[in-house]
Amino acid sequence: MRTSPKGIALIKEFEGLRLESYQCSAGKWTIGYGSTRGVKPAMTITPTEAEERLAFDLRHAEAAVERFAPATIRQHQFDALVSFAFNLGTEALRHSTLLAKLSRGDARGAAEEFDRWVYAGGKVLPGLARRRAAERVMFEGK
């Protein structure tokens, strides 16, 4: 399965496009649409390079969702999980209660878990809260 245009739009909306490297709230050097691979201070890229990085990073997140999530998930659930893994990392998804509930067939309980992933440094970040809410709506197919 591949991320749909709606899923990609959600990721782009919350990641934003930055053509110069910056440190994200977790302190990681980041560029483009949230790419951290090989990013260094004072690095710049073109919009085309940002799209290429996004495609590469999406393949990594998609592979993790395909590996860890039940094969029966629907496109909207896949898209939400890819956004989640893209933002938090594939290991966060792998070890999450969200995935455990989904694997047990509890899609409703899994959807509720999105609301728990809004913290950075022990504080609720409004941007994370908005993103998780949007991912939950997408996951629920609304």
Give tens-digit pLDDT for 93-118: 999 999 999 999 999 999 999 999 99
Helical residues (DSSP H) of 43-117, grouped into ranges: 47-68, 75-88, 90-94, 97-103, 107-113
With tokens 């029966």, the residue in question is: 72
> Annotated catalytic, 24?
yes
Q: Which of 13, 24, 49, 91 is catalytic?
A: 24
Domain assignments of the chain as residue spans, ordered by start: 5-139
pLDDT in tens, 15-66: 999 999 999 877 899 999 999 999 999 999 999 999 999 999 999 999 999 9
**pLDDT at 8 (0 to 100):** 98
In single-letter form, the type of residue at position 35 comes to: S
Asked whether the beta carbons of 34 and 15 are under 8 A apart, the reply is: yes
Query: Residue 32 is encoded by which pair of tokens?
Result: 């483009």
Q: Which of 15, 62, 113, 135 is catalytic?
A: 15
Reported pTM: 0.94
| Class of the domain covering 5-139 | mainly alpha
Query: Above 80 in pLDDT, residue 131?
Result: yes
**pLDDT at 121 (0 to 100):** 81
pLDDT in tens, 83-96: 999 999 999 999 99
Query: Residue 132 is encoded by which pair of tokens?
Result: 């998780």
**pLDDT at 95 (0 to 100):** 96
**pLDDT at 120 (0 to 100):** 83
**pLDDT at 116 (0 to 100):** 95
DSSP state of 44: B
Q: Sign of torsion, CA 110 136 95 122? A: negative
pLDDT average, residue stretch 129-137: 98
Q: Please state, in angstroms and rounded to a whole number, the distance separating the CA atoms of residues 128 and 137.
A: 14
Q: Reduced to 3 DSSP states, what percent helix, strand and coil does the chain have, rounded to the nearest 5?
A: 60, 10, 30
> Annotated catalytic, 66?
no
Give Cα 103 to chain centroid, integer Å. 19
